[in-house]
Amino acid sequence: MHMLQELSWKVGGQQGEGIDSTGKTFATSLNRMGYFIYSYRHFSSRIKGGHTNDRVRISTVRKNSVADELDILLAFDQETINLNARELREGGIVIADSKFSPTLPDNLTQHVHLYSIPFTKLAEENGAAIMKNMVALGTSAYVMGLSPDFCAPVIQSMFGRKSQKIVDQNMAAVRAGYDAMSSQNADFSGFQLAPATPDQHLLMIGNEAVAFGALAAGARVMPAYPITPASDVMEYLIKKLPSVGGVVVQTEDEIAALNMTIGAAYGGARALTATSGPGLALMMEALGLAGMTETPVVIIDTQRGGPSTGLPTKHEQSDMFAALFGNHGEIPKVVLTPSTPEECFYATVDAFNYAEKYQCPVLILTDLALSLASQSVTPFDYNYVQIDRGNLATPEALAAVEPGKMFKRYERTENGISPRVFPGQKGGIHHVTGVEHNEIGRPDEATSNHINMMNKRLNKFADIELQGSISYTGDNEPEVLVVGVGSSIGAIDEAVTRLRNQGIKVGHAQVKVLSPFPTKTLQEYMNRAERVIVAESNATGQLFHLMQFHGLQHKAMTSFLKYDGTPFMPKEVEAHLKGAVPAWQQ
Amino acid sequence: MSTINDFKGEKPTWCPGCGDYGVLNALQRASVELGMDPEDMVVVSGIGCSGKLSAYFGSYGLHTIHGRSLPTAQGVKVANRDLTVIAAGGDGDGYGIGMGHFIHAMRRNVNITYIVMDNHIYGLTTGQTSPTSDTGFVTKTAPKGAVEHPVHPLQLALASGASFVAQGFSGDIPQLSMLMKEAISHKGFSLLNVFSPCVTFNKQNTYEFYKSHIVKLTDDATYDPTSKAQALLRVSQEDAIYTGIIYKEDRPTYEEMAPNFSETGLATQDHSLSADELEKLLVQFQ
């Protein structure tokens, strides 16, 4: 029997109806079995009502994007069918609650099959209507050739603390769904999943990986203001920081959040804040202060649809210019753009070290798909975590400060990085100000001082490319080089693999650092390619223009933009690449 | 023991006669009398003539951006509870652009002292209406007189949960330094609003004006500063301006209330977690 190496499943219904927990139970159970999961939620900026769905891709190998087509759609209402059934592959199935007498759209009746199963009725028979999602999970298990007990460990950990009776009722509901599907006497051999690898992975969203990275990196203070899709970062740290003596301060606004982060970092803590576009806009003046005062802060920006309130629950990559150029005046900064939850973890660990090594603000730009998509993650390498607090004043240097003299916190050094002290240290008294200042931090408006100090700050990154600024896969001398950023890595890689399997030479460079921009490395990759296509989720081609801003040159460089609020799908990238080279279109 | 000289920073450039000299002087005296060491103090200031205090006072100093001294000062204190943190600014800085932070800092009750040099005018920008300017007060931005009602910081403070509220006058250094000592010693957020005349741009709220209008609560034996009812009554009276400790209460600070929060400064601790600890944290993601 042919078994599937991957399967794509979606559950949909009204927001507030338990769709999230259905998807999460399903994904967590399969992740524990060793399958690789990529789960992406569609939701709206409201609490109850409105269509929501969770799309889960289950695979025997790692996939970092949603699948092009669906195999199974679970529907708790007719709207779910109307909106999503067209994504089903030829021969795909809809399993729907018979309570609402589901029907297929006329144009789909020849291509997909509908199974009407009494989700609600079976749930009521086993305890309560609320367990209809468990019935639905049971139907999925049967179709996919899984045991109905596939979700038992997860259900045990979800409800075990409440009572064994609730666990038993939920499992009975799963089995009722399983049995109802088996009594359909249909052939589901086209939905059987190949066995999983024995590897164990974690299931995380990017926000959790960032928050965990901050914890591991020694961050102990997080002032922040709630905002979608960043709130998970503070919510995770609110739970975990107290166990290590740290604190999350929920501030009155994002202005307070970053200023308090600056205060905490100046006070000697490793501190971060997290926000999304509207909050980043409010932080700009304080970002300038952090740059001017050389205070190490870490700012997480989970990009969402803009401008203004924009699309708060939808995907976009349109804050790159704001992060790079949004503050007034000119400051040094590091801007990191990880692509996967693993990279979110390592980038956050790096961010705190960079912030203290270079004594400047570090921004981590994720995007909604990376922030919120739940993905199977390779366990982290803890040895990677080394806390490096950078250039701190030595006891000898502090002892050598003459009485009545101030410490040269902004001493001009060859690499522009001066020794740092924390308030409370004897001999370290100095002044810190957003006003242009001299080596001891006193205001100094002299023309020569301004030039010297601007150069001191801005030259910290002269000729520096941070490690891992670009990842590259594919052919060495490609006909087309795709350049991407952020969460699109999975969709691009998949498209590139498909084309290479067709004998087409393609390369893929994913940019992981926007500042300092890896100009030299990227130009080298571009020099080897016939064409360059820059793929990004915004309307104006910010990465494309950033490459031009840094003087990157290529005779045939074009932009591939998507800004409908959803991330790239592999088939979209594949089609665009094929369309770009006339010879590939046959 | 530290002396006044130990708390001297850069030579001030305020206008001769500026009320802010009195604030600086009183803060230096209070610090000496409290037996403080300069390296254990941080003055976090905003923008304006008042914002220069961080440079003129001889401790660690952090001169922030307009209106944001409070969130920054709270951050410093949260990072290191051993420090004495003093936020300072003017009426425009604290009651105009920074008003949101003012209200929230009081209800949050981080253990810092907030000194506001209130001169009822924007001085550094050469004479525009401030949030505490009296209605009808003529300035460059209100040539026919201010039409808005002035902010009342003490009423706001009492309503917002400030655990220490005091008012002083920079023309009365002995009382002012006493108030600073009380404010710094108070556990929790302390507001000290100081009438600090701008001799250059405000010809209405002058030293003479305050001398003739101020009623010192310190002279009133019947006044009980632990009574919020009495405090509210006094600060809402319009025929007198009170100085002294208006209100104080003993309330746990934010640092004390934050669950399991570190009691020692975070700067010098080793924050690395062992592989075991990290492994345990990841169990929830299995």
Place of tokens 């002396």: B3
Q: How confident is the model at residue A48 (pLDDT cuts 50, 70, 90)?
A: confident
Task: Give residue A155's pLDDT.
Answer: 96
Q: Which CATH number fits domain A470-585: 3.40.50.920, 3.40.50.20, 1.10.8.60, 3.30.70.100?
A: 3.40.50.920
**Cβ neighbours for A285, distance < 8 A, ≥ 6 positions apart:** A255, A327, A328, B65, B68
Are residues B285 and A257, on separate chains, in Cβ contact within 8 Å?
A: no
Q: Do domains A204-384 and A470-585 have the same CATH topology?
A: yes
**Cβ neighbours for A72, distance < 8 A, ≥ 6 positions apart:** A7, A8, A9, A10, A92, A93, A95, A140, A143, A144, A191
User: Following DSSP, what letter does each residue of A153-204 receive, concatenated?
Assistant: HHHHHHHTTT-HHHHHHHHHHHHHHHHHHHTT----GGGPBPPPPS---EEE
Q: Count of A–B CB contacts within 8 Å?
A: 206
Omega before residue B153 within 30° of 0, cis = no
Task: Give residue A170's pLDDT.
Answer: 97
To probe the interface with B, which of A37, A202, A260 has the most B CB atoms within 10 Å? A260
To probe the interface with A, which of B37, B39, B274 has the most A CB atoms within 10 Å? B39
Using a CB-CB cut-off of 8 Å, the residues of chain A touching B101 are: 252, 255-256
Amino acid at A354: Y
Cβ(A488)–Cβ(A535) under 8 Å?
yes
Place of tokens 């950990």: A157
Q: In 10 A of CB A489, how many CB atoms?
A: 23
Q: Which CATH number fits domain B4-284: 3.40.50.970, 3.30.230.70, 3.40.50.300, 3.40.190.10?
A: 3.40.50.970
Between the two ends of chain B, the Cα-to-Cα distance in Å is 58
Amino acid at A529: A
Cβ(A168)–Cβ(A194) under 8 Å?
no
Given strand A513-515, what is the order of strands in its sheet? A247-250, A219-224, A270-275, A298-303, A362-367, A334-336, A513-515
Mean pLDDT by 10 residues, chain B (286 residues): 95 97 98 98 98 98 98 98 98 98 98 98 95 96 96 97 98 98 98 98 97 94 96 89 97 96 90 94 93
3-class DSSP state of A477: coil
Domain covering A6-200 in this structure, CATH number: 3.40.920.10
Task: Give residue A1's pLDDT.
Answer: 65
Are residues A422 and B267, on separate chains, in Cβ contact within 8 Å?
A: yes
Q: Give domain limits for chain B.
A: 4-284
User: pLDDT by residue (tens digit) across A84-134?
Assistant: 999 999 999 999 999 999 999 999 999 999 999 999 999 999 999 999 999
Q: Give domain limits for chain A.
A: 6-200, 204-384, 391-462, 470-585
Amino acid at A82: N
Amino acid at A388: D
Whether domain A204-384 has CATH 3.30.465.10: the reply is no
| Rounded-to-integer distance, Cα A266 and Cα B76, Å | 7
Residue of B nearest to A32 (CA): B286
Question: What does pLDDT average to over chain A?
Answer: 96
- Statement: residue A409 has pLDDT above 70: yes
